Amino acid sequence: MTSFKQDVITGLAADAKYLSSRYFYDEIGDQIFQEIMAMPDYYLTRAEEEIFQLRKEDIFRALNFKTPFKLVELGAGDGLKTKILLRSFIEEKADFQYLPIDISSHVLDELAESLITELPQLEVIPMAMEYFEALEHLQNISNDPKLVLFLGSNIGNFPQGKAAGFLSSLAAKLQKGDKLLLGVDLKKEPAKILQAYSDQTGITARFNLNILARINRELGADFDLQNFEHYASYNPQSGECRSYLICRKAQEVHLEGVAQSIHFEEYESIHTEISKKYSPAELHRLAAETGFKVIEKFYDSKKQFSDVLLEKR
């Protein structure tokens, strides 16, 4: 049984139903996410892009690498923002290889193809793997210093306890002195956060509903997407923005090859995503308890977002 199928069955059979946001990103989901990043209300991408445009030289100086290094990106996606750093590092005459890691081989193929045209002098080694599988592979083949990029507020997709576990596991794969550039969305006006995750044009709703369409396509399910609606909420104390799919009526959904169907009560929810926002104090605590120290924090002009440079202690 594939991990996707097993995870779907496990999540939908739970008392509090859930689906992992990692499965948003098939070919269609990738395309919808491009639309999300272009939305006026989705400030995250523009804020991080601004940081890279304004502070790229400062980021490079703060790395303080004296020897060739590996630039490893977890969840590379289309690499749009990363290309700003790549160009800057090349201009700085840095000696590095770029290793984008993503579970979507489709996205990696597109990224590698674009870099051949845009930055032909750059050595690119795409890795269609799970994050830690790829890092373990790198441990075995290279002792070069590493800069790991984990951008776009992807760390926010973990509840706080699991974020600490993820960063601790990441630190265990790194050598002392390796760096991590962590993109983090910051706590701010709650209404602004909700607008980014529940836009009036319905793009984020389509993005969430596509996970059900993907289950239909790949697992032979019979979800009727008209029977579900997207709902987002934000808790300003925890900083957690959560997305759900709400079932409009009681129904049975069948998965091909699975003996029993999945029953939904009216207004039952499926939790699909968490996007946690951090305060500066939370960031320092998170770094301290996971084997990192904060070297420098880089902000956009409105201080909505931060790229935090951490070093493995």
Residues 85 and 173 in one domain: yes
- The reported pLDDT for the residue numbered 178 is 96
What is the average per-residue pLDDT within 170-182? 95
Residues 136 and 242 in one domain: no
Residues 31 and 83 in one domain: no
- The reported pLDDT for the residue numbered 238 is 95
pLDDT band at 257 (very low <50, low <70, confident <90, very high): low
Residues 11 and 79 in one domain: no
- How many other CB atoms are found less than 10 A from the CB of residue 271? 17
pLDDT band at 27 (very low <50, low <70, confident <90, very high): confident
Q: Which residue range(s) make up the domain with 245?
A: 3-40+204-276
pLDDT band at 1 (very low <50, low <70, confident <90, very high): low
Question: How many domains, the chain?
Answer: 2
Strand pairing of 240-247 and 269-276? antiparallel
How far apart, in Å, are the Cα atoms of 128 and each of 28, 75, 125, 178? 18, 10, 10, 22
Domain assignment present for 294: yes
CATH number of the domain bearing residue 110:
3.40.50.150
Q: What is the pLDDT of residues 16-26, one digit of tens each?
A: 999 999 899 88
Taking the C-alpha atoms of residue 73 and residue 96, their distance in angstroms, rounded to an integer, is: 13
Residues 152 and 301 in one domain: yes
Contacts of 85 (CB under 8 A, 6+ apart): 52, 56, 59, 60, 71, 149
Q: What is the pLDDT of residues 84-100, one digit of tens each?
A: 999 999 999 999 999 99
Domain assignment present for 112: yes
Question: pTM of this prediction?
Answer: 0.90
Contacts of 4 (CB under 8 A, 6+ apart): 23, 218, 219
Would the pLDDT of 142 be above 90? no
Q: What is the pLDDT of residues 64-83, one digit of tens each?
A: 999 999 999 998 877 889 99
